[in-house]
Amino acid sequence: MKLSSIIGQPRAVTQLRAALERGRVHHAWLFSGPEGTGKETAARAFAASLLCAAGGDQPVVEACGTCPSCQKLSRGVHPDLVVVLPESEAVARKMLAREDLPRTPSRELKIEQIRNLQTSLSRSPVEGKRRVVLLLGADSLNAAAQNAFLKTLEEPPVARTCCSSPTQATRSSPRPARAACGSPSVRWTRRSSPPRSRR
């Protein structure tokens, strides 16, 4: 899960690497562009760079892949990576059992999920460095959740929070998230043959 393994998106990757090299990373990033072009993969690699223990308190440009933090990330058990996604997507990824839900899995990101996110952000990072949030499918925020999320983005980051929001397409990404992320927005471009193999 390294930025160097992102193929065919040099502008986006350069933008992310430059922020990591400067060591000053904006607290919110909006990843937008065509479907299946590596936005989530890159957001996870970016998260790894921010959480990797090799950098001490600083981010690293390429996560080492071997420190305890990188290992926890690759096993999907890092306590400081908070992943927020619609129920339907969680069911599709087998992170949630369909039968554990009282109703049809929602395709929307709901206000309860944003409130839970706010609660987890109000606590100190478990590993001591920072918390990183991946809000997957920011274009699925319903109206109430959009407003709550906007507030979350506006609040001063307590312990260096970075929020990446991969979305399907720039035009369909929610205006509040776009406005609040303001800068920087990382744009993915269409590829001739997206490598859809590894999911």
Ligand X SMILES: Nc1ncnc2c1ncn2[C@@H]1O[C@H](COP(=O)(O)OP(=O)(O)OP(=O)(O)O)[C@@H](O)[C@H]1O
Binding site for ligand X (CB under 6 A): 5-9, 35-41, 166, 168, 194-196, 198-199
DSSP for residue 53 = G
DSSP for residue 100 = G
Identify the residue among 2, 27, 34, 67 touching Zn ion (CB under 5 A): 67
Q: Angle 56-62-65 (CA atoms, 0-180°, nearest 5)? A: 80
Tell me how far, at minimum, the Cβ of 89 lies from ligand X, in Å. 9
**In the structure encoding, which two tokens stand for residue 79, read together?**
């306590």
When the beta carbons of 74 and 106 are compared against Zn ion, the nearer one is: 74
When the beta carbons of 58 and 104 are compared against Zn ion, the nearer one is: 58
Decide which of ligand X, Zn ion, Mg ion, none touches 37; Cβ closer than 5 to 8 Å per partner kind. Answer: ligand X
First to last CA, the chain: 13
Tell me how far, at minimum, the Cβ of 58 lies from Zn ion, in Å. 12
Is the Cα dihedral 119, 124, 126, 131 positive or negative? Answer: positive
Identify the residue among 52, 90, 117, 132 touching Zn ion (CB under 5 A): 52
How many residues at the interface with Zn ion, by CB under 5 A?
A: 6
When the beta carbons of 64 and 96 are compared against Zn ion, the nearer one is: 64
In angstroms, the CA 114 to CA 173 distance is 17
Contacts of 176 (CB under 8 A, 6+ apart): 141, 146, 147, 149, 150
Decide which of ligand X, Zn ion, Mg ion, none touches 38; Cβ closer than 5 to 8 Å per partner kind. Answer: ligand X
Widest pairwise Cα distance in the chain? 47
Contact between 137 and 85 under an 8 Å Cβ cutoff? The reply is yes
Identify the residue among 6, 20, 40, 129 touching Mg ion (CB under 5 A): 40
Tell me how far, at minimum, the Cβ of 173 lies from ligand X, in Å. 11
Stretch that binds Zn ion, among 26-34, 68-76, 140-148, 160-168 (CB under 5 A): 68-76
Tokens 């420190």 label which residue?
Answer: 67
Identify the residue among 33, 55, 59, 166 touching Mg ion (CB under 5 A): 166
Residues that bind Mg ion (CB under 5 A): 40, 166
